[in-house]
Structure 1
């Protein structure tokens, strides 16, 4: 039976009681803001009690569970289920009152406060203390109660006690003219023990304290998933909690931070269920351990967590690894700074700890993993489905005798974007490496390439930055130098755009950025002084232009394929042949009046828009003019296969029925998605879930990049309209997440705790807002076509917008220009607000 009553500290601490904070609870964590608030409450109620001695002030609740062995005599023991931070702080305040009064008013106060509120006079050991904090805090707490300050030095407990001593000392200052007399120590003590009101909630011996603990956590007194799991484990250890805590849990807690512990519990779960989310750690672990029969089995689980924690600690801090090769690979993966690799890495580390594989096999598996990351980025497909793939890999290789080979086979098969040697070479020659993936990853790859030269005197590359040899902004001197190296039919601007961001034109330097646009002769002299081998090679060139960039790209490609092994030859060959045939069939199948983009074709075959564009430019395919840039514009580099053909592809498309806006963009409603292209050619392709394509995050740098690109590609009024819509979505309770990929879209995400992420639109800085009807039709609650159609109708209230019923099978776009008028922004935000409310209502009713 649960009962609640209002009490004071005088009632709570005035008898033979002990309030024990369970081992599973958090350590004492209150700080200055909480101490200050409590002190202000004490001063306030003490002031009121001068006029009304019975005045009280409510400061919160305390949830207690009785011990089963409580009898009619002796110390009555209670487990503190909730409220330990407040209760511990109040007793530290009383200890400060005791110490201050004893020093300034006489030693009799020390014994009186001690015996009434802090200790059980006739008890020994732990039972002596009326409040017994969690084990990690007990030494510091005893130090303050027993006047042994050295035992508490530097702890939060010590800081809290000192904070209140300082406040009490301040009461001794004489008042200024016109001020009231300061509070006396007796008034402060009375306010603490009789003026602060607490609701004490107590449970009977048949009540489940753990259930109450969970219930409290669900009503706003939030604890982490790790806190809840710790609580659950130690609630299952009624007789062995102390031993398990001291020998197993405390070493684990000392090894990993709270955040790292929580991640460890998630990593343990995803070994068996790749779909489990980090918000589901507690529920998932509780389900997994539901059938544990006795305390020995619970202890074994904690022991297993400690073993996993030690492996995870080495993953996070590779310098602790003893084997040189494994340490090198772990350090590389740690430098990549992504948690995506954690599940598979922990699984492989555990396999070695169990004796299934040795360190050489582990290092080889980690090399395949590193190679997979590097080759994907070089190929331009870094974020697409990466998390899903690596989580699936963990499940796939479990139980296989040679996990390194099993991992290699898994990553090489299907549409996992493990770039072959040929794909790497093509991407190094043509892909804009400088705008691919994260800047930190691009620098790492260049750094690792440099390290592969094996210089006898290693150079400190930490402060180096990526530098364009041929600069991003061409000076007249650079234009003249490049013009001298071009063929008659080549356009300088096109060549500059084509080669600028490719790997062959990039290096690492530490010299002043003011030289970035300087002539090659000046750069060459600086590069010659560099200890970086890549720069010494560049400085050996007499001039720098297309030929040198391409030649260097070939050398770098050779080095990349030599450092990082590719997919199995059989898998790579089969996938490449099938992919280009699929692309050719899809382009030929695009009907008149429709168009697709290089990006959709890339999604269809598991490639990147750049090699797709290169393939189309070199291969005469029917209907290739129906492939446009993502924004619905004809690529500047488009050429008819027939060199004598001069008609404008824009006019041809318009004659075929494609509608264009005033600024020359094809109607997004007529664009064919990868899924629709697959249907046209009757192929069954498991396209990556668009939720994994986002790789969104809240990194301020990504938002800044989105805003910068928005202003680069739009007039000021249109850019401002896009920003206002994004801001309005956030003000209504939505979340804006920015993708770390080439497209760099802003996803307007509905915040959810347990269900999958969902968003109605993606705001691209280059061409506008994409409404994801096609995907929404697969995501509840919009699997209800009536709801989806209502969203379409609400969007059509935007002036100048008219999405037809066929749009529900597509991803139509709204141009930034459409959103310029305030009325358009208001109508759009009304539709988005309805979407947000609809999803939240569906979540509540689920």
Structure 2
């Protein structure tokens, strides 16, 4: 027999209790995708609770079984039959919040409460001291995090999760969102809703566990909505299915798109609805209708909306050429984030409140925002909030295109100005940021700006570096003769991945490390106009890359309009250094990297990176050493009152040094691992809605 009740994480963890993960449970396995989804849920909840403190978010269930032998007056112990991954992750998040708060302002009240009430049993000794006791394989790493040991945040899954949350908490938060780390903690402890299912003594716990992990296919949001709607039409369901529902399904071609349509419909009136809440949101709205005729009318409305949504999926069916071109471009870009706003624009035109010309210009502003954000390294951050919010916040007293341009130009939309765009094109490592498909799309669109008569077929092309990623001896010799041998690596690392050095070719493997004379002949023969322009140069290096970058910047500025010049937004941020800080936060304890390796992964040069670390505080900067594995002679703590020895700190974290003072080479993070950490740091909020 089991009993279930809805509760909060705080109520589960409070009191003198302990939760043991049984040995038959697998070790902790949550990866970056799971962590990113939870972080988005928690931060969105914190933002929502800033407006309504009673807001909650359901995250699933935990199944608990009392441990035999617990007696009155002693600690109450439970086996975690199901939900250990979720429970472990949430306690690691609380530990990260505790340490973040202590680091930024030594907030003893909040940190003590989290540690003593939610993470440990303050007055108990081991083995009853920790609130959660993971499987034996995870206990040492987990205890290091909870106890705040120097070894916390190692390279195991427990350490990776802790470092993930420390990295996210270190990121700057838009003041307009109304929350900080304390509010995130409150969202976790009080706002996350959990169903706690308790078994009774005598229940076969292992059989319960098996049944929980062998469930069948679950109904989708679309399935639930279809069943609910047709249940509400006792007399007209067959006719409605034949005349409205089946044609709608056929028009959208699959059930996932039908579910998305219902979600987009909710976003037209409520900006903060997640796709996972589609059924609940639609059911809550439809429950207000008492008669079958009202339900039929709703399906008629949704069917009409579906025809507009189909234009977004099949732009070739749009009759206006300008709108068709913009819808095609957005489909090529492959981002789902603008969908609520694009559908809204089509609805506005459909009801007669906007012309096709106005909608086409509004779609161009959306495209411009996406392009400019991509080129400055801000591809996706916050877009899933921005576009639904625009539906609600556009100034309806203005033409829709003018209203949208003004909206995108104001606030923290990261709609890059012409100056910031040009600067980013010259220095940002475009090849290592954003989605690979969008890099190729960007270059394809740039090629179209050359007014090429021949149609570019992207499927046959790949992105090529003109100056190669790895310099051959001939390339190194030629560049050294012009710029000096000592500057070759720095100049190469700083410019090899920038837009000015990238092009499209159909023979990437054939070009490879060829010297520029041979590459130039192949580029000259190319049907791609941008390659013919490159081939007009007699040599290729940093000077030519910068010149081409400036030329491409001007083409881009003319093609994709920038923000409204009449709206001044002063936002001083650099995505490169934010990326560095996120990556540094993920460096595992007991390991080290070099200035050169870090610069290579970030797509910059070692010197500006070193200058940044020497002048601006950055997380785990002491784990960045010279290429010989030594603490740099110029290393200084940025904090004026900090005098501890960085080598001793590294040793406490588990790093070993030779008698000569060099860090163990075996503990140096490989370039491959560093790149994986970079990818984990650059999470994509569009990965899961």
Classify the TM-score, shorter chain.
0.5 to 0.7
Match of 1:428 in 2: 425
Contact 2:579/2:682 (8 A) holds in 1:
no
Q: Report Cα offsets for 1:126-148 as digits up to 9, x if no partner.
A: xxxxxxxxxxxxxxxxxxxxxxx
- After TM superposition, list the pairs within 5 Å mapping 1:215-226 onto structure 2: 222-226=218-222
Match of 2:436 in 1: 439
Aligned partners of 2:413 and 2:625: how far apart in 1?
Answer: 28
Aligned partners of 2:383 and 2:320: how far apart in 1?
Answer: 28
Contact 2:580/2:602 (8 A) holds in 1:
no
Match of 2:238 in 1: 242
Contact 1:435/1:742 (8 A) holds in 2:
no
Aligned partners of 1:612 and 1:460: how far apart in 2?
Answer: 29
Contact 1:470/1:544 (8 A) holds in 2:
yes
In structure 2, do the counterparts of structure 1 residues 232 and 318 end up closer, same or farther at CA, with 3 Å as the change threshold? same
3-state SS of 2:474 partner: helix
Aligned partners of 2:604 and 2:636: how far apart in 1?
Answer: 21
Q: Report Cα offsets for 1:566-592 as digits up to 9, x if no partner.
A: 111133xx324x537xx9xxxxxxxxx
In structure 2, do the counterparts of structure 1 residues 596 and 386 end up closer, same or farther at CA, with 3 Å as the change threshold? closer
Match of 1:282 in 2: 279
Deviation at 1:320, TM superposition (A): 0.8
Aligned partners of 1:400 and 1:304: how far apart in 2?
Answer: 26
1:358 aligns with 2:374: no
Aligned partners of 1:229 and 1:367: how far apart in 2?
Answer: 34
In structure 2, do the counterparts of structure 1 residues 625 and 306 end up closer, same or farther at CA, with 3 Å as the change threshold? same
1:553 aligns with 2:549: yes
In structure 2, do the counterparts of structure 1 residues 446 and 229 end up closer, same or farther at CA, with 3 Å as the change threshold? same
Match of 2:290 in 1: 293
Contact 1:739/1:746 (8 A) holds in 2:
no
3-state SS of 1:467 partner: strand
Aligned partners of 2:648 and 2:519: how far apart in 1?
Answer: 41
Deviation at 1:295, TM superposition (A): 2.1
Contact 1:321/1:327 (8 A) holds in 2:
yes
Match of 1:482 in 2: 479
Deviation at 1:491, TM superposition (A): 1.3
Q: Aligned match of 1:498 in 483, 494, 517? A: 494
In structure 2, do the counterparts of structure 1 residues 498 and 344 end up closer, same or farther at CA, with 3 Å as the change threshold? same
Deviation at 1:293, TM superposition (A): 3.1
- After TM superposition, list the pairs within 5 Å mapping 1:396-435 onto structure 2: 396-397=393-394, 399-435=396-432
Match of 1:466 in 2: 463
3-state SS of 2:337 partner: helix
Unmatched tracts of structure 2, length 5 or more: 1-214, 586-598, 654-663
Q: Report Cα offsets for 1:8-50 as digits up to 9, x if no partner.
A: xxxxxxxxxxxxxxxxxxxxxxxxxxxxxxxxxxxxxxxxxxx
Deviation at 1:597, TM superposition (A): 8.7
Q: Report Cα offsets for 1:440-495 as digits up to 9, x if no partner.
A: 0011111000011111222333211110000011111001111122169x611100
1:579 aligns with 2:575: no
- After TM superposition, list the pairs within 5 Å mapping 1:586-625 onto structure 2: 599=581, 625=615
Aligned partners of 1:274 and 1:746: how far apart in 2?
Answer: 20
Contact 1:633/1:664 (8 A) holds in 2:
no
Deviation at 1:274, TM superposition (A): 2.0
Match of 1:93 in 2: none
Q: TM-score, normalised by structure 2?
A: 0.57
Aligned partners of 1:283 and 1:386: how far apart in 2?
Answer: 23
In structure 2, do the counterparts of structure 1 residues 321 and 654 end up closer, same or farther at CA, with 3 Å as the change threshold? closer
Deviation at 1:424, TM superposition (A): 0.5
1:568 aligns with 2:564: yes
In structure 2, do the counterparts of structure 1 residues 653 and 630 end up closer, same or farther at CA, with 3 Å as the change threshold? closer
- After TM superposition, list the pairs within 5 Å mapping 1:258-269 onto structure 2: 258-269=255-266
1:255 aligns with 2:245: no
In structure 2, do the counterparts of structure 1 residues 292 and 717 end up closer, same or farther at CA, with 3 Å as the change threshold? same
3-state SS of 1:380 partner: coil
Aligned partners of 1:352 and 1:665: how far apart in 2?
Answer: 62
Aligned partners of 2:513 and 2:649: how far apart in 1?
Answer: 34
Q: Aligned match of 1:271 in 268, 273, 277? A: 268
Contact 1:437/1:742 (8 A) holds in 2:
no
In structure 2, do the counterparts of structure 1 residues 742 and 381 end up closer, same or farther at CA, with 3 Å as the change threshold? farther
In structure 2, do the counterparts of structure 1 residues 297 and 398 end up closer, same or farther at CA, with 3 Å as the change threshold? farther
Aligned partners of 2:683 and 2:447: how far apart in 1?
Answer: 32
Contact 2:440/2:462 (8 A) holds in 1:
yes
In terms of Rg, which structure is larger? 1
Deviation at 1:340, TM superposition (A): 0.9
Aligned partners of 2:478 and 2:415: how far apart in 1?
Answer: 38
Q: Aligned match of 1:513 in 509, 516, 532? A: 509
Deviation at 1:334, TM superposition (A): 0.6
3-state SS of 2:233 partner: coil
Contact 1:468/1:507 (8 A) holds in 2:
yes
Structure possessing the higher relative contact order (Cα contacts under 8 Å, 6 or more residues apart): 2
Contact 2:584/2:618 (8 A) holds in 1:
no
Match of 2:341 in 1: 344
Match of 1:650 in 2: 635
Q: Report Cα offsets for 1:192-225 as digits up to 9, x if no partner.
A: xxxxxxxxxxxxxxxxxxxxxxxxxxx9673221
3-state SS of 2:457 partner: coil
Unmatched tracts of structure 1, length 5 or more: 1-218, 584-594, 604-608, 638-646, 669-713, 724-737, 750-755, 758-846
3-state SS of 1:417 partner: coil
Aligned partners of 1:617 and 1:258: how far apart in 2?
Answer: 51
In structure 2, do the counterparts of structure 1 residues 612 and 436 end up closer, same or farther at CA, with 3 Å as the change threshold? closer
Aligned partners of 1:658 and 1:386: how far apart in 2?
Answer: 42
In structure 2, do the counterparts of structure 1 residues 225 and 459 end up closer, same or farther at CA, with 3 Å as the change threshold? closer
In structure 2, do the counterparts of structure 1 residues 260 and 520 end up closer, same or farther at CA, with 3 Å as the change threshold? same
3-state SS of 2:544 partner: helix
Aligned partners of 1:612 and 1:501: how far apart in 2?
Answer: 7
Match of 2:302 in 1: 305
3-state SS of 2:569 partner: helix
Count matched residues. 439
3-state SS of 1:248 partner: helix
In structure 2, do the counterparts of structure 1 residues 464 and 664 end up closer, same or farther at CA, with 3 Å as the change threshold? farther
Match of 2:114 in 1: none
Match of 2:450 in 1: 453
